């Protein structure tokens, strides 16, 4: 891949590669419902947002697995009881390079994308890989 093209890819804004169709939950949603959403949609993370769509937390599939594996109950628990209230997020105009840096330095594979404090999307490690692979030629088929 030419150097200029690689640099261009790394400077792409995350807003151009983020997922905008998100499943979100409110802090007062029952945790059992959150777990059902994760299972039904095969997703690894659920952003927790307030009424104004501001990001207030995040629940990962691993959070739910750990809770259930350790004998924890979902009954009577709310999203706010399990969410990480200080999720790592990234601004929509941050670059792919910045997103990769965040993922390298923190144990996350999903980054909520924000405009101000409002959730506008989600970028995953898979999104970044797909973006970077666009620059490699397709294999020749015999």
Go through 29-55 and write b for each residue having 16 or more CB atoms within 10 A of its CB, e for each that does not: bebeebbeebeeeebebbbbbeeebeb
pLDDT at 2 exceeding the cut of 70: no
* Domain annotation for the chain: domains and CATH numbers: 3-133 (3.10.580.10)
Per residue in 10-37, pLDDT tens?
899 999 999 999 999 999 999 999 999 9
Q: What is the DSSP letter of 38?
A: H
Structure pTM? Answer: 0.87
CA angle 123, 97, 132 (to 5 degrees): 70
What is the bridge-based pairing of β-strands 118-124 and 110-115? antiparallel
């Amino acid at each position: 891949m030419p150097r200029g093209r690689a640099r261009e890819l790394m400077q792409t804004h995350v807003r151009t590669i983020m997922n905008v169709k998100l499943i979100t939950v409110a802090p007062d949603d029952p945790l059992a419902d959150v777990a059902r959403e994760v299972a039904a949609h095969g997703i690894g993370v659920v952003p927790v947002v307030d009424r104004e769509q501001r990001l207030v937390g995040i629940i990962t599939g691993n959070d739910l697995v750990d809770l259930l594996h350790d004998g924890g109950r979902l009954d009577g628990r709310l999203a706010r009881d399990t969410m990480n209230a200080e999720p790592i997020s990234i601004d929509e105009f941050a670059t792919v390079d910045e997103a990769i840096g965040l993922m390298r330095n923190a144990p996350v594979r999903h980054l909520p994308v924000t405009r101000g404090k409002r959730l506008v999307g989600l970028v995953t490690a898979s999104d970044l890989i797909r973006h970077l692979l666009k620059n490699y030629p397709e294999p020749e088929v015999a």
